[in-house]
Amino acid sequence: MKNYDIKDSTLDEEGKLRIDWAAREMPVIKLIKQRFAQEKPLKGIRISACLHITTETANLALTLREGGADLILCASNPLSTQDDAAAALVDYGIPVNAIKGEDNETYYRHIITALEHKPQITTDDGADLVSTLHKEYVDYSHNVIGGTEETTTGVIRLRNMAKEGRLGYPIIAVNDAQTKYLFDNRYGTGQSTIDGITRATNILWAGRNVVICGYGWCGKGIARRAQGLGAKVIITEVNPVSALEATMDGYQVMKLIEACQIGEIFITSTGDLNAIDAAHISQMKDGAILANSGHFNVEINIPALESLAKSKKRIRPFVDEYTLANGRCIYLLGEGRLVNLAAAEGHPASVMDMSFANQALCVEYLAKMRGKLEPNVYSVPEEIDQEVGKLKLASMNITIDSLTEEQKNYLQSWESGT
Ligand SMILES: NC(=O)c1ccc[n+]([C@@H]2O[C@H](COP(=O)([O-])OP(=O)(O)OC[C@H]3O[C@@H](n4cnc5c(N)ncnc54)[C@H](O)[C@@H]3O)[C@@H](O)[C@H]2O)c1
């Protein structure tokens, strides 16, 4: 029986070229792939991976397969799939279940196909695969050695599952590796969010009032890039420390309801529900653009936007114009789904190199630790995080100093002071 479902298999050649292009920017993954080819640390292990189906993910998938894994993929978002990358992977013999623009029913059907692979390791981005497994295929969880989770929102969901005693196997929070969030969330989301909004709208950023909801790792990256393009950046936050940080980083900080009087472009990256709600939308100026870069399409209250609107029209790819009863037009990008993957190509390969190096090494670690970890959410082992940093730096031809024996001893001591 066919175990894949993609849009168009004739896109495979285009996909292969783009996968190779991404590979040029992924030297760390390349090294891991070469070692996996020799050592086969994942021999015969069934992996179900629910990730954004992009050219970078394709390079991760090929690396895991090189390590001996028996792999199936599905999308972690209905609008993030690159159909050519999916076609290329299928041609390479890796089943993919993902079509850009698939409806919710197809999205979950694809997740179920991936689960029917009876995974021994799950690789997830947002925890939809893991939560479906625990809700509908809980018996399968007994065969799972462990899992990895790519993003902040997924880690939050998994920690909540663990707290309720519902998590059936150990999961490594790849998101929380320093070589992931400091680079992927900050520089990756920063650049690609601006890219997605620019591709969708072709707006000029210089001189624009840009409101960013959430000053976490993603928000920091988006703010810095928007400012670099000449935008006047306003931050909204709910955490006093993050708000203070934004203030001292030089941004204006205020309540969102006040920012609505000023803002021209609004970007959410909070991981939270209804960060932009009906009351905010009603206050926005004519022509306001709304985009989300958080994991789920819940950060902008779209049902509220729909009910405030008297009409809706798609005016460009990924741009929907809502005309409100008050006569103002509000533009929603990418149906409120993560704009960097919906309207652009997601993070640049160079940054995914580090995120996916963590993924590959954590999958290998789980295979080695089979049976030794209790069901819980674990940090990426320090050695893996350091190794990824070391390899990336080496690939950039950057060398750094190392501690002398005297310095190591000093840093481990407490006796000597003033
Ligand atoms: N688009 C992408 O490619 C991509 C990449 C990485 C992460 N993400 C997603 O982006 C989201 C943010 O990730 P992060 O790593 O920056 O998380 P984070 O936890 O570092 O930051 C989130 C920030 O949002 C703030 N916040 C929460 N609710 C808020 C509200 N109602 N209004 C204003 N601020 C609020 C929090 O106080 C926090 O400072 C998550 O959903 C994550 O999964 C997306």
The secondary structure of residue 299, as a DSSP letter, is S
Q: Of all atoms in ligand 1, which is nearest to the CA of residue 213?
A: 33
Region 339-353 average pLDDT: 97
CA dist., res. 413 & res. 357, Å (int):
34
Task: Give the C-alpha distances (Å, rounded to integers) separating 306 from 102, 277, 278, 339.
Answer: 21, 12, 10, 19
Atom of ligand 1 nearest to the CA of 153: 43
CA of residue 100 to ligand 1 center, whole Å: 24
Q: Is 302 exposed, middle or buried (0-12, 13-18, 19+ CB in 10 A)?
A: buried
Question: Measured between alpha carbons, how far is 134 from 167 in angstroms, rounded to an integer?
Answer: 8
236 Cβ closer than 6 Å to some ligand 1 atom: yes
Minimum-distance ligand 1 atom for the alpha carbon of 193: 1
Query: pLDDT tens, 102-122?
Result: 999 999 999 999 999 999 999
Cβ neighbour number for residue 122 with a 10 Å cutoff: 29
Atom of ligand 1 nearest to the CA of 236: 33
The predicted structure's pLDDT at residue 7 = 98
Per residue in 143-193, pLDDT (tens digit) is 999 999 999 999 999 999 999 999 999 999 999 999 999 999 999 999 999
Question: Residue 274: pLDDT band by 50, 70, 90 thresholds?
Answer: very high
Q: How far apart are CA 51 and CA 81, in angstroms?
A: 9
The per-residue pLDDT for range 203-219, each reduced to its tens digit, is: 999 999 999 999 999 99
Quote the pLDDT of residue 119.
97
Ligand 1 pocket: which of 51, 57, 152, 241 to mutate (most atoms within 8 A of CB):
152
66 band by pLDDT with thresholds 50, 70 and 90: very high
How far is ligand 1, taken at its centre, from the CA of residue 266, in Å? 14
Q: What is the predicted pLDDT for the residue at 418?
A: 87
The reply to whether ligand 1 has any atom less than 6 angstroms from the CB of 338 is: yes
The pLDDT mean for the chain works out to: 97
- Residue 378 has a pLDDT of 98
The reply to whether ligand 1 has any atom less than 6 angstroms from the CB of 127 is no
Largest pairwise CA distance in the chain: 74
Task: Please report the pLDDT score of residue 299 as a whole number.
Answer: 98
Q: How far is the CA of 269 from the centre of ligand 1 (A)?
A: 4
Q: Residues 262-284: what's their mean pLDDT?
A: 98
* Binding site membership of 238 for ligand 1 (Cβ less than 6 Å): yes
**Once rounded to an integer, what is the mean pLDDT over residues 378-389?**
98
Residues 282-305 have a mean pLDDT of 98
Please, is 286 exposed, middle or buried when counting C-beta atoms within 10 Å of its C-beta (0-12, 13-18, 19+)?
A: exposed
State whether the beta carbon of 189 lies less than 6 angstroms from ligand 1.
Answer: yes
- Please, which contacts does 241-245 make with residues 24 or more away whose CB atoms are closer than 8 Å? 242/215, 242/216, 243/215, 245/215
Phi–psi pair at 320, nearest 5 degrees:
-110, 130
Give the closest residue (by CA) to ligand 1 atom 33. Answer: 237
Joined together, the tokens standing for residue 143 give 């065969």
Neighbours of 368 (CB within 10 A): 10
pTM: 0.96
- Residue 190 CA, ligand 1 centroid: distance in Å: 12
- % of the chain residues with pLDDT over 70: 100
Res. 1: pLDDT tops 80:
no
